[in-house]
Structure 1
Amino acid sequence: MRILIAEDEVHLAEALSQILKKQHYSVDVVHDGRDALDYAMSGIHDLLLLDIMMPELDGISVLKKLRGEGISTPVILLTAKGEITDKVTGLDHGADDYIAKPFSTEELLARIRAALRRKGEVIPEDALTFGDIELNTAHLKLAVRGKELKLNLKESELLELLVTRKQAVTSKEQIIEKLWGFDSDAEYNNVEVYISFLRKKLTFLHSTVRITTIRGVGYVLEVTE
C-alpha cells in the first residue's frame, strides 16, 4: 500500500517515512501543499497524511480541493494546533481522522490501520488469500498448504495488488504507479521481471494460482484446476 506524507518539517517527514517503510508501506514525501495536491490528484495513494500548516497551500485547502475533485482517498490530518476549530474544520471538509503532534508511533499506525479499514482495504498486517495461496504482507511470506517462501518487498506489493484487485485485469501502468510512483522512471521490463519472479515462486509451491497475461492489457490472477 502507498502512503503520501505531506509535511514541511523535513526531519519529521523523514522519520515518518522510515517508520512506515519498516511496516512495508510504500511512501512518497512532499514538503508543501502544492506538491501534496499534485501527488494526491494522481489517485495512486491508499492514504494521505497531511500537515495542516504547510507553505504554498495549507492542509485544509489541499483537502477541500481533493474532495471537490472527487478524490476520496482517506486523509489523516497532522497538526500541532490544539484548537478544536481546526479539527472540526478538517472533519467537516472530508478528513477521516486527525492526530496532534507530538504523537506516538503506535498511535499513528493504529489510526492508519483504522482509516484503511474504513475504506475497505485489507491492511498490511493481515493475511490475504486467493485460491490456495496466503500472502502475509507484514512478514513478506507466501504460503501454499503449509509450505512457504520469503518474498522481497516489491514481490509482496505486486502480489498484494493483484490479489486485492481480485479478478480484475491490472495494467503495467497501474503496477508502476502503485509500486514505484507516478513520477518513477521504472519501465515495463521492471514489471515483467517481478511477474516472472512471482510465477516461479507460485510454481515452486505447486500453487493452483496463475498470473495470466492478457495481451495488450495487463495481468490477472486465475485459479487452475
Structure 2
Amino acid sequence: MRLLLVEDEVDLADALAEGLRREGYLVDVARDGASALAAAAASDVDVILLDRDLPILSGDAVCRTLVSQGYPARILMLTAAGTLDDRVAGLDLGADDYLAKPFAYVELLARIRALGRRTGADRSRAVLEHSGVRVDVVRRVAERDGAPLRLTLKEFGVLETLLAAQGGYVSADDLLDEVWDEPQERTRGVVKIVVHTLRRKLGSPAVIHSAAGHGYRVGEL
C-alpha cells in the first residue's frame, strides 16, 4: 500500500516515514500543500496522511481540492487542533478520518490499516446506489429517494459498505472490520444498534434486511 505523508515538521515527517516504511508501506513525503497536490497527481496513492497546518497551501485547501477532483485515496487529517469543532470541520471537508496530535503511533497504524481496508472497489465508484438509496463516497453525502440523510460516521460507513455489496449480504464481523477502528467498540451488539438507527433514518419501506447466519443487505424483500 502506498502512503503520501504531508507534514512540514521535518523531524516528525522523517520519523514517521521511517517507521511506516519498516511496517512495509511505500511512503512518499511532501512538505507543503502545493507539493502534496503534485505528489498525488504523480502517483497512485491509497492513503494520504495530511497535516492541516501547512505552508503555501493549507491542508484544508489540499483536502478540498482532492475531494472536488474525485481523487480516490482515503484522507487522514493530522492536526494539533483536536476540539470537536475542529474534527467536524475536517470531516466536512471530505476527510475520511481525523487524528489529533500528539497521537500514539500504534493508533496511527490502526487508522491506516482501517482506511486501507476501505480502498478498492467501493471507493473506485464515486456514487453507490441501490433501491433508491444513494451515497456519494467522495462528497460524503447520502440520500433516499432524493431526500438528504443526516448520518453519523458509523451509520454512513455501514450504509456505504452495504451498498458496495450490491444487494449481497455483509456479515456483522465484516462490518466491524470495515467501519470500526476502536477495539473497545468492536462487538456485534454495536453493529446491531447502528443498523437499527440507520433503518429508522432511512424510513419506510425498510431497505436494510437481515438474515441469521448471513448478515445484512440493502434491497427489496
The two structures have a TM-score, normalised by structure 1, of 0.52
Look up the SS of the partner of 2:114 in the other structure.
helix
Match of 1:96 in 2: 96
Counterpart of 1:50 in structure 2 is 50
Aligned residue number for residue 19 of structure 2: 19
Secondary structure in 2 matching 1:41: helix
Q: CA deviation at 1:37?
A: 1.1
What is the 5 A alignment of 1:99-138? 99-120=99-120
**Partner in structure 2 of residue 182 of structure 1:** none
Structure 1 window deviating more from structure 2 (58-67 vs 86-95): it is 86-95
Q: Give the AA of the match of 2:104.
A: S
Shift of 1:64: 0.4
Give aligned-pair identity as a percent: 50
Matches within 5 A, 1:184-223: none
Measure, in 1, the Cα distance between the counterparts of 2:120 and 2:112.
13
Q: How is 1:29-68 mapped onto 2 (pairs within 5 angstroms)?
A: 29-68=29-68
Q: Any idea what the Cα deviations from partners look like across 1:146-204, whole Å, max 9, x if unmatched?
A: xxxxxxxxxxxxxxxxxxxxxxxxxxxxxxxxxxxxxxxxxxxxxxxxxxxxxxxxxxx
How far, CA to CA, are the matches of 1:105 and 1:116 in structure 2?
Answer: 16
Gaps in structure 1 of 5+ consecutive residues:
122-225
| CA offsets 1:21-60 (integer angstroms, 9 cap, x no match) | 0111011111101101111123511110000000011111
Structure 2 counterpart of 1:54, one-letter code = L
In 2, distance between residues paired with 1:99 and 1:87?
Answer: 8
Residue 32 of structure 2 is aligned to residue 69 of structure 1? no
| SS of match in other structure, 1:56 | coil
Contact 2:8 2:32 in 1 (8 A): yes
Taking the aligned partners of 1:38 and 1:110, their CA distance within structure 2 comes to 27
Report the residue type matching 2:66 in the other structure. L
- 2:42 aligned counterpart, secondary structure: coil
- The 8 Å contact of residues 5 and 48 in structure 1, kept in 2 or not, is answered as yes
- Aligned residues of 2:76 and 2:98 also touching (Cα < 8 A): yes
Q: Which amino acid aligns with 1:66?
A: L
Amino acid at match of 2:99: I
* Residue 85 (structure 1) shift: 2.3
C-alpha distance in structure 1 between counterparts of 2:70 and 2:43, whole Å:
10
Is this contact kept in 2: 1:43–1:73, CA < 8 A? Answer: no
What amino acid sits opposite 1:114 in the alignment? A
Give matches, 1:137-176, under 5 Å: none
Residue pair 2:82, 2:101 contacting (<8 A) in 1 also: no
Aligned length: 121
Question: Structure 2 counterpart of 1:75, which letter?
Answer: I
Amino acid at match of 2:22: K
When the two chains are superposed, the root-mean-square deviation of aligned CA atoms in Å is 1.3
**Match for residue 80 of structure 1?**
80
Report how far residue 89 of structure 1 moved: 1.6
Q: Distance in 2 between matches of 1:87 and 1:61?
A: 16
Q: Secondary structure at the match of 1:75?
A: strand
Q: What TM-score results when the alignment is normalised by the length of structure 2?
A: 0.53
Asked whether the equivalents of residues 41 and 66 of structure 1 are also in contact (C-alpha less than 8 Å), the reply is no
